[in-house]
Amino acid sequence: MNEPQIGLLVLTPVILAFIVFMYRQSAIPKVGAVVAALLSIIIAAAMFIGQS
């Protein structure tokens, strides 16, 4: 596992935590939070696979 992959593994949960925080503060609706979480996971997975 190289350094960019480790960065993705660290950054993705931080992004997901921020999405949950924004949802709990009523800054984004539930649908927006779900879409943002799914897209961030898909993008991180694509970038993780692309780094190999």
Alpha-carbon distance values, 36 to 3, 26, 32 (Å): 25, 15, 6
Q: How confident is the model at residue 48 (pLDDT cuts 50, 70, 90)?
A: very high
> What's the mean pLDDT when you consider all of the chain?
95
- pTM of the entire structure? 0.89
Q: Judging by beta carbons within 10 Å of its beta carbon (0-12, 13-18, 19+), is residue 30 exposed, middle or buried?
A: exposed
The answer to whether residues 28 and 36 touch, using CB atoms and an 8 Å cutoff, is yes
- And the tokens for 34? 């779900």
Quick one: average pLDDT of 4-10?
Answer: 94
Q: What is the mean pLDDT of residues 13-40?
A: 98
| 29/51 Cα distance (integer angstroms) | 33
